[in-house]
Amino acid sequence: MITYFYWALVIGAAFGLVFLFGAKFGRWKSAVVAMVLVLGTGWGAYVFHFQQLFVKRYGGVMTIRVPPGQRHIAATWKADNLWVENYDPRTNECIFSEYSRGSVLEGRVTIKNCNPIAREGVPPEIPAAPAEGR
C-alpha cells in the first residue's frame, strides 16, 4: 500500500508542476522539463533506495522470480538487503543471491554438494499434487 501512496505522491507532484508552470504561468516547456525531472527523480529514488525499504518496513510490493530449474528454500533480510536461497538439483548447489537496492553490488554465494532437501545420497521427493474435488 505504501508503494502505491509513494507513486501517487510522485505523479501528483509531477502534474502539480505541469499545472503550476504550464497552466498558471504559460511556460509549457518548463512544465514538461519539471515533470520529467520529478518523474525521473522519483523513479531513481524508488529503485535505488525506497523499494526494499518499503517492502521490509512498511509492507510494500516486490516480486522476485525463482530461476527455471531451481527450487526456492528460504529468504531473509540482512540490513535492508534481501537474501534468497535457492537449490539447483541439476548441479546439487545451494545459491544465496542478494537483492540490494537498485540491483547494485549484488552478492552471490554458491555452496557445492549442498543437497539440502534430502538425506545424503537419497534424491528429494517431490510432493504429489492434491487430488481434485477434496
Q: How crowded is residue 34: how many other Cβ atoms within 10 Å of its Cβ? A: 19
Q: Are 11 and 59 in contact (CB under 8 A)?
A: no
Q: Which helix (H) or strand (E) holds 84?
A: strand 81-88
- Determine the structural domain holding residue 75 and report its residue range: 71-112
Domains in the chain, number: 2
Identify whether residues 7 and 54 lie together within a single domain: yes
The CA distance from 70 to 66, in Å, is 7
Looking at the domain assignment, is residue 129 inside a domain? no
Q: What CA–CA distance (Å, rounded) separates 134 from 130? A: 8
Kindly state whether residues 48 and 15 are assigned to the same domain.
Answer: yes
pTM of the model: 0.60
Domain membership of residue 52 (yes or no) is yes
- Which of the pair, 8 or 123, is modelled with greater confidence? 8
Segment 78-85 mean pLDDT: 86
How do residues 62-77 score in pLDDT, each as one tens digit? 788 899 999 999 999 8
* 5 pLDDT more than 80: yes
**Predicted confidence (pLDDT) per residue in 27-66, tens digit:** 889 889 999 999 999 999 998 888 888 888 887 777 888 9
φ/ψ of 108, rounded to 5, equals -150, 125
